[in-house]
A and B are shown apart, each in its own frame.
Chain A
Amino acid sequence: MSEVHKTIEAVWRIESTRLIAAIARVTHDVGIAEELAQDALVKALEVWPEEGIPEKPGAWLMKAATRRAIDSLRRGRMLVKKHEELARELEVEQERLGEALQLSLEQVIDDDVLRLIFTACHPVLAVEGRIALTLRLIGGLTTTEIARAFLVPEKTLGQRISRAKKTLSEAHVPFETPAGDELRQRVESVLLVVYLIFNEGYTATSGEEWMRAALSDEALRLGRMLAQLLPGESEVQALVSLMELQSSRSAARRGKDGEAVLFPDQDRSLWDAAQIQRGMVALERAQRLGGGAKPYALQAAIAACHMRARTAEETDWDRIVLLYDALLQINPSPIVALNRAVAVGMAQGPAAGLDAVDAAAAGFTALAGYHLFPSVRGDLLMKLGRLSEAREEVQRAIAMTKNLREQELLASRLKQLEQRDNGGA
Chain B
Amino acid sequence: MPQYLVAGYLPDDFDPSTVDEATVREIHALTKEMIAAGVRKFAGGLGPAKSLRGQPDGGVLVTDGPYLETKEHIGGLWILECADLDEALAWARKGVAATRSQVEVREIFFNPAPE
Contact surface of A with B, Cβ cutoff 8 Å:
6-7, 9-11, 13-14, 17-18, 53, 55-58, 110, 113, 214, 217-218, 220-225, 227-229, 272-274, 276-277
B87 to A14, Cβ gap below 8 A? yes
A11 to B37, Cβ gap below 8 A? no
Instruction: Report the nearest B residue to A17, measured CB to CB.
Output: B37
A274 to B110, Cβ gap below 8 A? yes
B115 at the interface (CB under 8 A from A): yes
Cβ contacts under 8 Å, B37 to chain A? 14, 17, 221, 225
Interface stretch (choices B5-13, B53-61, B65-73, B88-96): B88-96
A273 to B115, Cβ gap below 8 A? yes
Which size class do B's interface residues fall under?
20 to 34
B113 to A273, Cβ gap below 8 A? yes
Instruction: Report the nearest A residue to B111, measured CB to CB.
Output: A274
Instruction: Report the nearest A residue to B98, measured CB to CB.
Output: A56
* Known A-B contacts A221-B38, A224-B38; A7 and B97 likewise in contact (beta carbons under 8 Å): no
Cα–Cα distance between A110 and B112 once the two chains are bound (Å): 32
Number of A-B contacts (CB under 8 A): 67
A10 to B97, Cβ gap below 8 A? no
Q: Report, nearest first, the 4 A-B pairs whose CB atoms are least far apart.
A: A225-B38, A224-B38, A273-B112, A10-B86
Contact partner of A7 (CB less than 8 A), chosen from B39, B89, B113, is: B89
Contact partner of B36 (CB less than 8 A), chosen from A110, A220, A277, is: A110
Where chain A touches its partner, the secondary structure class is helix
Cα–Cα distance between A26 and B5 once the two chains are bound (Å): 36
B90 to A13, Cβ gap below 8 A? yes
Cβ contacts under 8 Å, A10 to chain B? 84, 86-87, 89-90
Cα–Cα distance between A113 and B39 once the two chains are bound (Å): 15
A217 to B83, Cβ gap below 8 A? yes
Cβ contacts under 8 Å, B96 to chain A? 55
B36 to A229, Cβ gap below 8 A? yes
B24 at the interface (CB under 8 A from A): no
What is the distance, in angstroms, from B115's C-beta to the closest C-beta of chain A? Answer: 7
Instruction: Report the nearest B residue to A280, measured CB to CB.
Output: B113
Cα–Cα distance between A216 and B93 once the two chains are bound (Å): 26
